[in-house]
């Protein structure tokens, strides 16, 4: 099949996950054209340089501006507005390029990316969603986990709901597996890059810290108050400051530090959390402020006993977390670790059905971590079962 693949560029988790899926598609003989924005473009272009049956086009996408452990909404809005005109022109140019190249895709896959989704809908093509965000809207979450959503939670759910409505099917990748409440929805385990699948867990004494916002100036002084060795990624510089080693990003070095870490301290981003859980590394999650998706990930992490979470980082919190790493490791031993065969098998089933012009399947035959069971579960907020 000819497949158009859209990858959102904000955060590298989408890119690393998409690389695994695209490699599988190419190995099966499909032809793929990728549209991708941000840093993810350079990553995927480098990963597939010299490969046949694939082309990668850079598009414009939205981005965030960070201030300490929060998204600066005002600066993010201003920055996106400033780039909007040039971005629209760029995306129109790519749209024309795809059309003029005579690619004529037969199916679209979108990792939470709107350009490819809209292309698919405009051309009446089946669109397969592969991402972790749809779990917010398409699964039933116990009240003791989600708590009171508030405005941020309501807006997050609304944003996910309207992002890619009416898809051919939704493959939701997750390390937690709540009941699926909507049709055409399948829950699958984390999609793991080959480096993680090949990694052998050998716990050491250091703590791996991953910081998304390099402007978080309070982080290093807090870590320096603790009697531990910390290896810190994401600050944009390297060196050693007392017990904190600042590391330049290296895929090999990061995975090695992860597999040998006593524990991980990071935000609430799904990708690293899924990798840590899959490897059996206890994690302390400090989600970005007012980011409901990250807080949901963190709440499930703690609920399952795989780690802990808190809205703010403190020395007391880190000390308490590190004192319980043995308990977290014991809980992690029960995690049903998987390779990527389950997810890719589900995708292959969808591609086969679409290639034969079959109706959108409400459920898949291939094994999965969760499927629609025939009765719509209620929305935990409204009680509605409307799809």
pLDDT in tens, 361-375: 999 999 999 998 876
pLDDT in tens, 167-181: 999 999 999 999 999
Q: Other CB atoms closer than 10 Å to residue 87's CB: what's the count?
A: 16
Structural domain boundaries of the chain? 2-193+339-371, 195-332
| Banded pLDDT at 380 (limits 50, 70, 90) | low
Contact 178, 372 (CB under 8 A): no
Closest CA to 164 of 215, 118, 108: 118
Task: Give the residue from 5, 7, 13 showing the smallest Cα distance to 294.
Answer: 13
Directed axis angle between helix 270-279 and helix 13-27, to 10°?
70
- The CATH classification of domain 195-332, taken from the options 3.10.450.50, 3.40.50.2000, 3.40.640.10, 3.40.50.280: 3.40.50.2000
Does the pLDDT of residue 103 top 90, yes or no? no
Least confident segment among 68-82, 282-296, 372-386: 68-82
Binned at pLDDT 50, 70 and 90, residue 71 comes out as low
Report the pLDDT averaged over residues 196-216.
Answer: 88
pLDDT of 262 > 90? The answer is: yes
Cα separation, 63 vs 38, in Å, equals 8
Residue 286 backbone dihedrals phi, psi, to 5 degrees:
-125, 90
Model confidence at 220: pLDDT above 80: yes
Higher pLDDT, 218 or 351: 351
Q: Tokens for 210, please give them.
A: 């991953």
CA nearest 133: which of 114, 107, 150?
114
Residue 250: both structure tokens together: 């290296």
Residues 6+ apart with CB under 8 A from 170: 128, 129, 134, 138, 182, 184, 185, 186
Q: What's the whole-number mean pLDDT along residues 300-311? A: 97
Q: Are 42 and 49 in contact (CB under 8 A)?
A: no
- Under a CB-based contact definition with an 8 Å cutoff, are residues 294 and 137 in contact? no
Alpha carbons 56 and 101: distance in angstroms, whole number:
13
Evaluate whether 2-193+339-371 and 195-332 have a shared fold: yes
Q: Where is 176: in which H helix or E strand?
A: none
Report whether pLDDT(344) > 70. Answer: yes
* Partners of residue 4 on adjacent β-strands: 33, 108
**Per-residue pLDDT, 277:** 98
pLDDT band at 73 (very low <50, low <70, confident <90, very high): low
Take residue 135 and report the two structure tokens written for it: 């779990």
Six token digits for residue 207: 């703590």
Is residue 196 scored above 90 in pLDDT?
A: yes
Q: Nearest to residue 339, comparing CAs of 131, 191, 177?
A: 191
Q: What confidence score (pLDDT) does residue 387 get?
A: 47
* Tokens describing residue 276: 């840590």
Beta-carbon contacts of residue 281 (< 8 Å; ≥ 6 apart): 201, 203, 208, 258, 259, 261, 263, 264, 332
Predicted pLDDT of residue 153: 81
Give the least confident one: 272-281, 315-324, 339-348, 375-384.
375-384
Q: Give the C-alpha distances (Å, rounded to integers) separating 319 from 144, 308, 315, 323, 326.
A: 26, 12, 6, 6, 13
Q: Provide the 10 A C-beta neighbour count for residue 89.
A: 10
Between CA 62 and CA 169, with CA 346 as vertex, the angle to 5 degrees is 50
Contacts 24+ apart (CB under 8 A), 161-164: 161/137, 163/112, 163/114, 163/117, 163/133, 164/110, 164/112, 164/114, 164/117, 164/127, 164/129, 164/134
115-170 per-position pLDDT tens digit: 999 999 999 999 999 999 999 999 999 988 887 766 778 888 899 999 899 999 99
Q: What's the pLDDT at 297?
A: 96
> Angle CA(294)–CA(379)–CA(164) in degrees, nearest 5?
60
Tell me the fold of 2-193+339-371.
Answer: Rossmann fold (3.40.50)
Give the DSSP H/E element, type plus range, for residue 172: strand 169-173
User: 128 forms bridges with which residues in the sheet?
Assistant: 109, 169
What percentage of the chain has pLDDT greater than the value 70?
A: 84
Sorting pLDDT into bands at 50, 70 and 90, what band is 17?
Answer: very high
Going by the DSSP 8-state scheme, the letter that residue 366 receives in this structure is S
State pTM to two decimals. 0.88
Q: How far apart are CA 122 and CA 154, in angstroms?
A: 28
Residue 259's region, left for phi above 0, alpha for psi from -120 to 50, else beta, is alpha
């Amino acid at each position: 099949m000819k497949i158009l693949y859209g990858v959102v560029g904000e955060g590298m988790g989408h890119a690393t996950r998409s690389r695994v899926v695209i490699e599988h598609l190419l190995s099966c003989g499909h032809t793929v054209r990728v549209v991708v924005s941000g840093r993810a473009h350079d990553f995927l272009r480098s990963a597939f340089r010299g490969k046949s049956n694939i082309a990668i086009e850079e598009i414009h996408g939205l981005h965030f501006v960070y201030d300490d452990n929060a998204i600066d909404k005002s600066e993010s809005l201003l920055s996106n507005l400033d780039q909007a005109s040039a971005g629209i022109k760029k995306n129109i140019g790519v749209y024309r390029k795809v059309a003029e190249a005579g690619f004529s895709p037969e199916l679209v896959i979108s990792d939470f990316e709107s350009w490819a989704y809209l292309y698919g809908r405009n051309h009446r093509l089946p669109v397969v969603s592969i991402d972790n965000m749809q779990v917010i809207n398409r699964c039933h979450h116990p009240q003791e986990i989600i708590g009171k959503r508030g405005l941020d939670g309501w807006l997050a759910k609304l944003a996910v709901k309207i992002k890619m409505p009416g898809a051919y099917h939704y493959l939701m990748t997750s390390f937690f597996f709540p009941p699926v409440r909507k049709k055409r929805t399948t829950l699958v385990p984390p999609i793991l890059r080959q480096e993680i699948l090949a990694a052998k867990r050998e716990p050491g004494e250091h703590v791996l810290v991953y910081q998304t916002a390099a402007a978080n100036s309070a982080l290093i002084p807090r870590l320096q108050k603790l009697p531990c060795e910390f290896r810190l990624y994401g600050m944009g510089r390297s060196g050693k400051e007392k017990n904190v080693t600042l590391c330049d990003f290296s895929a090999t070095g990061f995975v090695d530090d992860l597999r040998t870490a006593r524990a991980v301290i990071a935000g609430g981003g799904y990708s690293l959390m899924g990798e840590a859980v899959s490897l059996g590394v206890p994690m302390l999650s400090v989600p970005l402020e007012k980011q409901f998706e990250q807080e949901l990930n963190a709440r499930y992490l703690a609920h399952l006993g795989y780690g802990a979470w808190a809205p703010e980082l403190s020395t007391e919190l880190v000390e308490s977390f590190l004192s319980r790493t043995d308990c977290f490791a014991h809980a992690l031993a029960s995690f049903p670790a998987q390779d990527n065969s389950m997810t890719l098998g589900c995708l292959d089933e969808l591609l086969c059905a679409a290639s034969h012009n079959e109706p959108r399947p409400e459920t898949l035959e291939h094994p999965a971590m969760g499927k629609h069971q025939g009765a719509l579960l209620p929305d935990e907020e409204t009680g509605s079962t409307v799809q």
